[in-house]
Amino acid sequence: MWHRTTERNTQGHQRVARIGIAWLVLAIVVSVALTATACALLLPDREPAILSRPGEVTTVTVSTQQYSGSRQVSVTPVLSEAQQLTTTAVGTITEVMFTGGTLNSGTAIMRVDDNPVVALHTDVPLYRDLALDMTGADVQALNRELGRLGLFAQHGGDPESNRYTWTTQMAVQSLMVGAGIGDGYDGATLALRNVVWLPDQSDTVSNWQPRRGHSLAPGAVIGTIAGTLTRLDVAGIAASAQPRVLIVAGVTVTLPAEKTNIEDRKALDQVQASDQYRQQIGSATGSAASSPDGSSSGSGIQPLAATLSLDKPIEVLRVPAAAVFGLDGTTGCVASASKSIPVSVVGSELGVSLVTLDGGASNFPSTVDIGSAITGHQCK
């Protein structure tokens, strides 16, 4: 009996102990929760360290690179006024050897009354028959062109002479015999009826008129010469202190320093002689508008795609675009070590400005200032 009573008492005490521990744990949890709530309500907010703002960056390290300035540009050809091609030959056209397109100096183009007519360029237009011992600027121009065609080389003589010499006679004979004038021709006289004057060494001819069997009256128009290329205007660029290379119509020419156009005759002749230029421009020249100075551009002539780059690559400094201040056109300043440095902006790439300094790469700083570090700086 005593044992049962003792066991019941022991079990009762254990239950009371477990209940007490549970209430104690609950009290601790509630206390912690109330404390945390009070802290959250009463203590000031503090930003977690991971979200705190970093300090302002006011200096950045910069680098250099080689820069060629290569870019795609648009080039507009400016042409002289188109002109008519005429002949003094009179009679019946017995043969046609040229049918239109590019006409080169020294080319036989037709026969009139069975006599050949040759296209010939001279610096001075031919306006009279020329004969042995005659002198003049037109004779000198004839000698110069015969020399360029290689007809003086086989006979010697001076292609710059202003006299119709024996060498001129032999060169004229070679020219006309090559055109089929006949074995009896000695070259002592160059008759105007046997020559059609070309303004340039090579001209594009459209509206070609000669037809076999047709008759020619004095001064007959036989075709139209497209305007000669007199200038190439490069659009959307500024003049540069350094010469640049322009690749247009497959031809590489030089764009001079401080220029946005090309007027050099040799360069223009190279472009004009290219197949790409002839294909793109030749068909449009007939409808090109004339400018007050007699040149043509614009309405019938489409700009040419070209590539422009520096004549020689230069070393440039890469700086953040935001580091350049006081920008006026392509000139501005950067700051380094709190000092303003004048620069010229030559290009840009995705938020980076490419600049040069007076004195070249030897004066490039290793860092530049940005943000508030350039506030108040003057660019002079």
Residue 52 lies in a domain: no
Domain boundary, last residue among 202, 225, 248? 225
Q: What is the pLDDT of residue 82?
A: 87
Q: What is the pLDDT of residue 15?
A: 57
Asked if 118 and 101 sit in the same domain, the reply is yes
Asked if 212 and 255 sit in the same domain, the reply is no
Helix axes 137-148, 166-179, angle to 10 degrees: 60
Residue 149 lies in a domain: yes
Residue 58 lies in a domain: no
Domain boundary, last residue among 193, 225, 257? 225
Q: With 0.75 as the threshold, say if the pTM is over it.
A: no
- Measured over the CA atoms of residue 274, residue 275, residue 279 and residue 280, the dihedral's sign is negative
Residue 36 lies in a domain: no
Asked if 170 and 243 sit in the same domain, the reply is no
Q: Give the integer Cα–Cα distance in Å for 185 and 143.
A: 19
Asked if 199 and 248 sit in the same domain, the reply is no
Q: What is the pLDDT of residue 45?
A: 54
Asked if 256 and 270 sit in the same domain, the reply is yes
Residue 11 lies in a domain: no
**pLDDT digit string (tens) for 274-285?**
888 878 776 555
Q: Name residues whose C-beta falls within 8 Å of residue 17's C-beta, 6 or more positions apart in sequence.
A: none
Residue 172 lies in a domain: yes
Q: What is the pLDDT of residue 27?
A: 59
pLDDT-flagged residues of the chain (< 70):
1-54, 282-300
Asked if 92 and 221 sit in the same domain, the reply is yes
Cα-to-chain-centroid distance, residue 13: 102
Asked if 96 and 162 sit in the same domain, the reply is yes
Q: What is the pLDDT of residue 295?
A: 47
Q: Give the integer Cα–Cα distance in Å for 371 and 56.
A: 8
Residue 293 lies in a domain: no
Asked if 96 and 200 sit in the same domain, the reply is yes
Count of CB atoms situated within 10 Å of the CB of 273: 17
Domain boundary, last residue among 225, 259, 274? 225
As for how many domains the chain has, the answer is 3
Residue 292 lies in a domain: no
Q: What is the pLDDT of residue 291?
A: 41
Asked if 249 and 210 sit in the same domain, the reply is no
Q: What is the pLDDT of residue 21?
A: 64
* Cα angle: 284, vertex 286, 288; to 5 degrees: 70
Asked if 267 and 252 sit in the same domain, the reply is yes
Asked if 107 and 205 sit in the same domain, the reply is yes
Asked if 109 and 213 sit in the same domain, the reply is yes
Range of the domain at 324: 315-374
